Copies of this chain bind each other. A is one copy, B any other.
Amino acid sequence: MLSKNTIKYINSLKISKFRNEHCAFIVEGTKSVSELLQSSTEVLALYATETWIAQNPVPTTALHVVTDSEMNRISSLSSPPGILAVAKIPDFQQQHYTSKGNFGLVLDGINDPGNLGTIIRSADWFGLRNIIISKDTVDPYHPKVVQSTMGSIFRIQFLETDLEEFLTNARSAGTKVFGAVMEGSNVYTTNLTNVSALLVIGSESHGIRKPLLKCIDTMITIPRIRLEGNQSAESLNAAVAGSLLLAEFMRGQLIK
């Protein structure tokens, strides 16, 4: 049985402030928990319902058996999948940049958890190992972000920092900064093969914030195909746009 305090503690982790205070976050679902258990991320506690245990190979990690009603009280999902873990937020203070080809992804104020999660998943697919995020980007350990990364959250390191300072320093060190905007050079005809490059992506509604634009060397855009006499989409979904641009930067490695 779960104590009131445990239920309260797990529920507090749905809020950013308490995740930071406890250095812990929630992971739900068979696929995500299985990825967690295979990762180097520390598991603090594991909760499963009897129904889940009856249908799945039981992990070797110590498991708390909870009732369906208890699971409903700790889950963030409307249909709880029956398995929930509390994991430790990794300490990235000592991180160093290990992404392939010295390419870095910078996210400025992405506020939709699903979009952030999907971008993290694409970054993982394309071999990135860290992402630089602005302080007002949604917390990567938000339950909905974790959910939509489908396990990629455990393979990516995050550096939350002041982007103006970060980009200024990067440029001084010779890194070329690209920014995704509505009216920039066609990404498909721009030379992206740089020794060291950063790609900045802003939020779907506001784009890259104005003060950051001066830190950008080349503005790039995914061109739109307009049909004669027809209106067309005003923008792409932020996660889609981010993934399309990411693929272009990785193209040199993808055609090998």
Binding site for B on A (CB under 8 A): 35, 38-39, 98, 100, 114, 118, 121-122, 124-127, 129, 148, 150-152, 155, 186, 188-189, 222-227, 230-237, 239-240, 243-244, 247, 250-251, 253-255
Minimum C-beta distance from A99 to chain B (A): 9
Given A225-B250, A226-B127, A254-B188: A236 in contact with B122 (beta carbons within 8 A): yes
Q: Is B125's CB under 8 angstroms from A236's CB? A: yes
A-B residue pairs in contact (CB < 8 Å), sample of 5: A39-B231, A122-B236, A127-B232, A150-B234, A223-B254
Q: Is B225's CB under 8 angstroms from A254's CB? A: yes
Question: A230 vs B125: C-alpha distance in the bound complex, in angstroms?
Answer: 11
Question: A253 vs B226: C-alpha distance in the bound complex, in angstroms?
Answer: 11
* Chain B: CB-nearest residue to A128: B225
Given A239-B237, A239-B240: A155 in contact with B230 (beta carbons within 8 A): yes
Q: Is A234's CB under 8 angstroms from B151's CB? A: yes
Given known contacts A155-B232, A244-B244, what 18 new A-B pairs fall within 8 Å (CB)? A39-B231, A98-B227, A118-B237, A122-B240, A124-B233, A125-B224, A125-B225, A125-B232, A125-B235, A127-B227, A129-B230, A150-B234, A152-B233, A155-B233, A186-B255, A189-B255, A223-B254, A239-B239
Give the contacting residue for A236; candidates B114, B223, B231, B243; CB below 8 A: B243
Given A189-B255, A225-B250, A232-B127: A237 in contact with B122 (beta carbons within 8 A): yes
A250 cross-chain contacts in B, Cβ below 8 A: 225
Q: Is A225's CB under 8 angstroms from B127's CB? A: yes
A247 cross-chain contacts in B, Cβ below 8 A: 222, 244, 247
Give the contacting residue for A188; candidates B38, B224, B235, B255; CB below 8 A: B255
Question: A187 vs B244: C-alpha distance in the bound complex, in angstroms?
Answer: 14
A234 cross-chain contacts in B, Cβ below 8 A: 150-151
A127 cross-chain contacts in B, Cβ below 8 A: 224-227, 232
A253 cross-chain contacts in B, Cβ below 8 A: 225
Given A150-B235, A226-B127, A233-B150: A118 in contact with B254 (beta carbons within 8 A): no
* Chain B: CB-nearest residue to A119: B240
Question: A114 vs B144: C-alpha distance in the bound complex, in angstroms?
Answer: 14
